[in-house]
Chains A and B, each alone.
Chain A
């Protein structure tokens, strides 16, 4: 599990995160939502150890995240980035294969068990058909799925996603979210995802964190946190409940 304790962060003079504390439980699927500039990505970067907070602590397991070497972290945490430019034409197999790096010695090729793990990750994300194709020739959404497969091949205990579905069509967004939910409930994977779409967040996440202007507005079970009242306060939009756990955004403020 991850414990975030009293995190503060500033870019030059502007405070970005103010006194954030929250606990992420193993096997939970936490959605981070909030308006633009509310500090979502900064919080994610601090939780993954990419950024150092000005004060406060992030505890993973029973140690401060700063005490892990980056090799150790790579066996625990995987990140699916938002929109990554890939300048060199690697094949998708090469890209997903890079996910095995934390477990390999240098110059040691992919073993058969590595290949099995890669194949499994690629079939889960429906990217096996791309294996031999160049990643630079794929569409944005297809590339995101390949990067998702790479993160799964890394076999992390905690998976972070930074608006990773923004380029995918709705079919694959739902496929991937279903897959993540399955991995959480069946294999105990912990997922922390920044999600823009409130409807998707409320339908798939077990927990939700709402940030506004660098402050934690609410953290708890998604069904309770993502309520039309709280969303109206934070985003200034109208929503209504739809179905068991969904939300529908109404056009017009």
Chain B
């Protein structure tokens, strides 16, 4: 069939496929290149050789490179790069999902207070680990904090059975500031040990090891695939519950499933990188301007764009200047103003 509608559909699909492919290639190349960037002088060729050798299990390939270099490449830089991609991609997908579910282009795990909740849970775990000699899993505490915050914010925002965007933003801000105060309290209770919590909260990907990669990638990927599986339902729910119902989509069930997925992603990201703001707002808006609002295209493209963006930011932060700039500081410092810019552009084009 060669109707204009089919042509329109195919043109869009091609555009999304090409964009996805380009992003994937750029991200892979940049990830390899980023292994070469840093204080220790390592060439891209050495980096690629070590990665190839390790992945293929063939030690002879990188025998000629000294052990310290190999360790920097494989044990220090690569896990950090993979963690940056997972966290960036995860935050962007969580942003898309929160925005569509709550029918609010301003929602993300940060404005929703979910990140702060995860940070609160995590700082409690760190505090108890220091002072009660516990070995509490920080991720599970972060997840508990994220889910509890989400439930509180949602129930505060629900008026007459309906969650409005204005209520949600207000509830998010209120809960978020209460939790920030609670985090400050935990910090002051920690006394001289405060730096463990602070350096973790500040949003940094420094010293990420394979251990972080091994649990974050499967969890984030699984949650992202779940979101992708429900992408078309998400499109419909973003038109409103009534509309969803008349198209046979159970909005409240979908909301439960996907908010849990979003909270899981957020919790893992916060557990790994601390609070990294604005990625979940900026990436969906940028991609939406480029390829439209269809979540089936948005979710994979945002995952790739978010990963690439955070990788770039983290690589910039650790290579420019004498002192490493934590990536969370960088994304908020640059991302905040940039978000204001794209938001103004968007409201202008929409009249």
Residues of A within 8 A of B (CB): 48, 50, 70-75, 77-79, 81, 84-91, 93-94, 98-99, 101-102, 104, 106-107, 109-110, 112, 115-116, 118-119, 122, 128, 131-132, 134, 136-137, 154
Contacts and interface: CB of A to CB of B under 8 A. Distances in A.
Given A50-B242, A106-B233, A88 B5 contact: no
B350 A73 contact: no
Given A91-B292, A94-B292, A116-B3, 20 more contacts: A70-B250, A72-B248, A79-B242, A81-B242, A84-B239, A87-B238, A88-B238, A93-B9, A94-B294, A101-B247, A101-B249, A102-B247, A104-B232, A106-B233, A110-B9, A116-B1, A118-B5, A119-B3, A131-B5, A131-B8
A93 B247 CA distance: 16
Given A106-B229, A131-B5, A79 B294 contact: no
B10 to A, nearest CB: 10
5 contacts: A75-B248, A86-B239, A94-B293, A94-B294, A99-B247
Contacts of B248: 70-75, 101-102
A77 B245 CA distance: 11
Contacts of B239: 84, 86, 98
B350 A136 contact: yes
Given A106-B229, A115-B6, A84 B236 contact: no
B288 interface: yes
B324 interface: no
B246 interface: yes
A112 B9 CA distance: 11
A25 B16 CA distance: 47
A78 B247 CA distance: 8
Contact of B8 (A48, A132, A134, A136): A132
B336 interface: no
A147 to B, nearest CB: 9
A104 B229 CA distance: 13
A89 B288 contact: yes
A90 B294 contact: yes
Q: Which of B12, B239, B294, B296: most chain A Cβ within 10 A?
A: B239
Interface of B: 1, 3-6, 8-9, 12-13, 99-100, 103-105, 229-233, 235-236, 238-240, 242-243, 245-250, 288, 292-294, 296, 350-351
A98 B235 contact: yes
Given A94-B235, A98-B235, A112 B6 contact: yes
A115 B9 contact: yes
B104 A87 contact: yes
A159 B293 CA distance: 27
Contacts of B296: 107
Given A99-B247, A107-B232, A136-B350, A93 B292 contact: no
Q: 9 closest Cβ contacts across the A-B interface?
A: A74-B248, A88-B293, A71-B248, A102-B248, A79-B246, A112-B1, A101-B247, A90-B293, A70-B248
Contacts of B4: 128, 131
A115 B292 CA distance: 20
Nearest to B346: A89
Contacts of B6: 112, 115
A87 B105 contact: yes
Q: Which of A74, A87, A93, A134: most chain B Cβ within 10 A?
A: A87
A26 to B, nearest CB: 20
B350 A137 contact: yes
Q: Which of A75, A132, A136: most chain B Cβ within 10 A?
A: A132
Contacts of A78: 246
A116 B1 CA distance: 9
Contacts of B100: 88
B241 to A, nearest CB: 9
Contacts of B238: 87-88
Contacts of B105: 87-88
A90 B232 CA distance: 12
Contact of B245 (A70, A132, A134, A137): A70
Contacts of A85: 240
Contacts of B240: 84-85
A209 to B, nearest CB: 21
Given A101-B232, A115-B1, A115-B5, A50 B246 contact: yes
